[in-house]
Amino acid sequence: MHLGEWWTNPPLDHVDELAVHFYGPARGDLDNRVGSLLDAMNGLVITDDNVNVLPRIRLAFTKAKTADARIYIRLTWRDE
């Protein structure tokens, strides 16, 4: 599933926490993976990826076969 199909609301101005769990082959760096994800979320799910909008990120990685690769994303925010 693509983010554009999953997220149908306007971009959020503030997120309390973004928790991301990557599953897949042990290649690359975790910071590069989350950077790519934030680039994809920018302007679609969140208005920006700066610390005023996104002050807390929790990351995890679990090695898995390529066929089982996936990303779980959990956003926590308050409607104001």
Q: Where are the domains of the chain?
A: 3-76
Cross-strand bridge partners of residue 60: 21
pTM metric for this prediction? 0.88
pLDDT of residue 28: 87
61, 20 in Cβ contact below 8 A?
A: no
The per-residue pLDDT for range 2-44, each reduced to its tens digit, is 778 888 999 999 999 999 999 999 988 999 999 999 999 999 9
Q: Would you give the distance in Å from CA 37 to the centre of its chain?
A: 5
pLDDT of residue 69: 95
pLDDT of residue 68: 96
The per-residue pLDDT for range 69-79, each reduced to its tens digit, is 999 999 999 88
Cross-strand bridge partners of residue 57: 18
